[in-house]
Structure 1
Amino acid sequence: MVTGAGQGIGAAVTRALVAAGAVVAAVDRNPGPLAALAEEFAAEPAGGDPAAAGGVRPYVLDVTDAAAVESTVDLVERQLGPLGVLVNVAGILRTSPAVELTDEDWAATFAVNTTGVFHTCRAVGRRMAERGTGAVVTVGSNAAGVPRAGMAAYAASKAAATMFTRCLGLELARSGVRCNIVSPGSTDTEMQRALWGGDAEAAERRVVDGDPAGWRVGIPLGRIAQPADIAEAVAFLVSDRARHITMHDLYVDGGATLRA
């Protein structure tokens, strides 16, 4: 199951997992992009078994709705079989100076970025623990570890989701369930481009070069990430190649935070 699968990093993670042979329950609250993603993998598997080969099955879901999360997880497991992987990607960004943040923006940010992670991890993690196997990855942000001007709500919500996932990993370790975090830096997604304004090329260059006035270092590797860069890290952490890794926070930011 991948949340926020309709676009950006979520769509890239979905494609990477399908390429690795998984059947993915792609979850998003926006049915349009979700349907387009599913159409990429519309061919029926041999024998008509939806879990027999890699592919995408779309499920419209708002992760802030606890009851809907539980019912959707039940439906997915009835239709596709036991969930072995959960990737939390669904997220929103509301920018504002901290002292000007509205109650609505603060609450909405935490509802998706933190409480949504709690809802999905509770529903799926409980089932994984009973089965004695599973892998959870939460896509956080390097902003969870380094302050960002104008991003107080986003950074705080990602920090909370990161620590929740690590605590979950500690609690479920004896049950054979691994829980990790992938923390991207600036990545070429619609969310990122919404911050750039009109001149995308100049804005991207500012991100790569850094902004001393905003107390922000640049990206030492000299390039902004692509969603596939994040997806590859996720695919590794949910695979058996990472079978002895849990409670880890993997920064995929081109060195932008100097791993502070």
Structure 2
Amino acid sequence: MSTERDLAGRLALVTGAARGIGAAVVEVLAERGARVLATDVDAPAAEALAVRYGDRVVARALDVTDATAVEDAVAEAERTLGPLDIVVNVAGILRGASVVELDDADWAAVFAVNTDGVFHVSRAAARRMTSRGRGSIVTVASNAAGVPRSGMAAYAASKAAAVMFTKCLGLEVARHGVRCNTVSPGSTLTDMQRALWERSPGGAEAGRRAVLDGDPDAYRTGIPLGRIAEPVDVAHAVAFLVSDRARHITLHDLYVDGGATLRA
């Protein structure tokens, strides 16, 4: 089956769409024929993305931590753009610190976006998709959800919760023809990744090499493929899972990490 326009006629909502993986997801879905509602707390950046694609991409401001705002945004989208066929949860934040130094505000903020946000958006979409008997929801999580990471307890725990939530939702809605899957990237060339490298004791280049080669002091393996993912690598995995080529795949967690976790 050709993938050139395999999503033509479908409407997708993407959160965290202004940059990084979210922006790449918007671009790939639009290129494959979908009309995309690109949402982000950074409305100007989302608007700039929409300008490049004309009427194929519509931008809206959205704070996924606000359940009422999410419900209103989904309702408005269905009223003005049409029924949602695809939802991709990408919005996420990282607050790094050892557990003993992690404060309550940072823990709560990470869960508010990475877990509560996935719940708010997925619930609002699933309510509508189940009544129509079709739909696909994909949550972009992290390989940190399955492998412990030093200094990333809040992030890893929030992503693990998002993965299990998405699987539980998928189990409940499968009988209604709605599929729910997760994509779990490893290190990817995003602003979040670059910020981690810049905080490395040896500087950004040392941080990048530690990701590629591994870091025994952090009990972390390297990347067997010898490269760091680009956002489009993750976006193509998302596009596969929301397409008819994956019509018999649900409750699946697809790792896109170059083998970094050894699929532990």
Question: Do structure 1's residue 9 and structure 2's residue 10 form an aligned pair?
Answer: no
Displacement, 1:201? 3.3
Displacement, 1:14? 0.4
Displacement, 1:164? 0.1
Question: Do structure 1's residue 124 and structure 2's residue 128 form an aligned pair?
Answer: no
DSSP-derived class of the 1:220 partner: coil
Counterparts of 1:53-72 in structure 2, within 5 Å, are 55-72=56-73
- Structure 2 Cα separation of the partners of residues 196 and 108 of structure 1: 22
The one-character-per-residue Cα deviations of 1:20-68 (angstroms, maximum 9, x if unpaired) are 10000001011121111011112x4xxxxxxxxxx11001010000000
Displacement, 1:181? 0.3
Aligned residue number for residue 168 of structure 1: 169
- Structure 1 Cα separation of the partners of residues 88 and 237 of structure 2: 12
DSSP-derived class of the 2:181 partner: strand
Residue type of the partner of 2:21?
I
The one-character-per-residue Cα deviations of 1:170-219 (angstroms, maximum 9, x if unpaired) are 00000000000000000000000000117433321221000001100000
TM-score w.r.t. structure 2 length?
0.93
- Structure 1 Cα separation of the partners of residues 121 and 197 of structure 2: 31
- Structure 2 Cα separation of the partners of residues 79 and 208 of structure 1: 46
Aligned residue number for residue 182 of structure 2: 181
DSSP-derived class of the 1:86 partner: strand
Aligned residue number for residue 39 of structure 2: 27
Question: Do structure 1's residue 244 and structure 2's residue 255 form an aligned pair?
Answer: no
TM-score w.r.t. structure 1 length?
0.94
- Structure 2 Cα separation of the partners of residues 108 and 17 of structure 1: 29
Calculate percent identity across the aligned residue pairs.
Answer: 67
- Structure 2 Cα separation of the partners of residues 171 and 74 of structure 1: 22
Aligned residue number for residue 233 of structure 2: 229
- Structure 2 Cα separation of the partners of residues 12 and 129 of structure 1: 27
The one-character-per-residue Cα deviations of 1:79-113 (angstroms, maximum 9, x if unpaired) are 11000000000000000001111000000000000
Unaligned runs of 5+ in 2: 1-12
Q: Which moved more, 1:64-73 or 1:192-201?
A: 192-201
Residue type of the partner of 1:222?
G
Counterparts of 1:132-171 in structure 2, within 5 Å, are 132-171=133-172
The one-character-per-residue Cα deviations of 1:154-181 (angstroms, maximum 9, x if unpaired) are 0000000000000000000000000000
Counterparts of 1:198-209 in structure 2, within 5 Å, are 199-209=203-213
Residue type of the partner of 1:145?
G
Of 36, 40, 57, which aligns to 2:52? 40
Q: Which moved more, 1:30-39 or 1:80-89?
A: 30-39
- Name the count of aligned residue pairs: 249
- Structure 1 Cα separation of the partners of residues 206 and 107 of structure 2: 30
- Structure 2 Cα separation of the partners of residues 58 and 101 of structure 1: 34
The one-character-per-residue Cα deviations of 1:208-249 (angstroms, maximum 9, x if unpaired) are 000001100000000000000000000000000000000000
- Structure 1 Cα separation of the partners of residues 228 and 209 of structure 2: 9
Unaligned runs of 5+ in 1: 45-54
Q: Is the 8 A contact 2:47 2:60 kept in 1?
A: no
- Structure 2 Cα separation of the partners of residues 152 and 32 of structure 1: 31
DSSP-derived class of the 1:161 partner: helix
Aligned residue number for residue 52 of structure 1: none
- Structure 2 Cα separation of the partners of residues 201 and 152 of structure 1: 24
Counterparts of 1:201-220 in structure 2, within 5 Å, are 201-220=205-224
Residue type of the partner of 1:81?
G
Q: Which moved more, 1:158-167 or 1:31-40?
A: 31-40
